[in-house]
Every structure is written in structure tokens, then in C-alpha cells.
Amino acid sequence: MSAAKQQLPLMEHFYTLQGEGRYTGQAAYFIRLAGCDVGCVWCDVKESWDATKHPMVDEDEIVQYVLDAKAKIAVITGGEPLMHDLTTLTMKLQSHGIRTHIETSGSSVLSGSIDWICLSPKKFKAPLDEVVARAHELKIVVYHSSDFAWAESYAQKVPDDCQLYLQPEWGKSSEMNPLIIEYIKNHPKWSLSLQTHKFLDIP
């Protein structure tokens, strides 16, 4: 593999607590890669969309950040991280005993050796069937009441043991939370995911 392919556009990286979904509250090192072709109107990291605005960083340097923090979980997020080939980055992380998690819309081809795939499909660009079929966690961001039916359409496509989460879009929380709570009470296969890191004011 060429040296160029061992670099990735790194927007930011930090050690914190996972704020959402199945691993909420657990320590994790976040690797936010730049570049996204999905374009969610409510995205809270729009500055990640243009990969050319962020430095290309050697994968070995990224791995060293995680090792220095003594983190046990590395979460690769974005942007849309699957726009990049994650094969060598994930293999290097796993060679050090670090679990590899990814947060993805599933709209690009799956690459790398991933221990936990959090799929958060978006209406702006549909996920690929191959990613849906391998999801460990389905996280639907609820922006409108119509999103419940849309969530159910994906719940039927993911594996039977995939964990199902409904998460209010942060700016619509006051409006969507009561609807989500009632929906989960009537459809208990779903669980609630909240952006706890925003309540705690941590990265």
C-alpha cells in the first residue's frame, strides 16, 4: 500500500465518554475523519464535510494518539468515515487490543475490520444493503413524526440481534422527546438514545 493511502484527513481527535447508543457512558477515543457526501441539513459538524480543509495525518500517528490515552475503544466517526479505506487503520488498532467502532450512515462501501457498527441511515443518501446487513446498532435520528415509520422500515432490514435506538435531533428534542417516549412504550423493541455528552458539556 502506498504511503498516501496510509494517511487520512483528520478533523479532530479526543478521548471522552461515548455519548450515544449502546456504549453510552464508556470511555472511548474519537477519531473524526473529514469528508461527507450525505449532507444532513441538521448536521452539527458541517465543518467536517470538506476533507480538503483538514490535514492529512499518518495512520500510525492516529493510532499513537489512542495508545497514549490508553483507550480500549476507538470510535471512527465523521463526516462519513466510510468514504475512506479503513482497512489498515482498523487492523493497526486491533493489533494493540483496541476495539474498533464506527458511526456511519452506511452510504459508502464498508471497509476495515470493525468490532461494532453503529448504523445511522439518512434520508439524504440511502445506506448500502451490505452495511445494513452487518449493523450491530441501528440509531435513527428523529426529526419529524414521519421518521417512526421510516425507522421501522430499517428495523426490518438489520440483523435480528441488532440493537434499535431512537434519538431525538438535538434542536427538536423538546418536540420529539414526548413522541419518542410514547412510541417506545408501544414498541418496546426500541430504546431511547440521548446525546448525553451535550448535557454533560463534554466533547
Query: 3-200 sits in which CATH class?
Result: alpha beta
Per-residue model confidence (pLDDT) at position 4: 45
**What DSSP assignment string belongs to 64-126?**
HHHHHHT-SEEEEESS-GGGS--HHHHHHHHHTT-EEEEEE-S-S---S--SEEEE--BTTBP
What cell numbers appear for 195 in the block? Answer: 446525546
Q: Are 160 and 75 in contact (CB under 8 A)?
A: no
pLDDT for 83: 95
In the chain, domain spans: 3-200
pLDDT digit string (tens) for 57-82? 999 999 999 999 999 999 999 999 99
Bridge partners of 9, per DSSP, are 56
42 pLDDT band (50/70/90 cuts)?
A: low
| 117 in Cβ contact with 131 (< 8 Å) | yes
Question: What would the pLDDT profile of 92-119 be if each residue is shown by its tens digit?
Answer: 999 999 999 999 999 999 999 999 999 9
At how many degrees (to 10) do helices 59-69 and 87-95 cross? 30
| High-pLDDT (> 70) share of the chain, % | 96
Question: What is the pLDDT at residue 54?
Answer: 94
Quick one: residue 22, left, alpha or beta (phi over 0 = left, psi -120 to 50 = alpha)?
Answer: alpha
pLDDT band at 49 (very low <50, low <70, confident <90, very high): confident
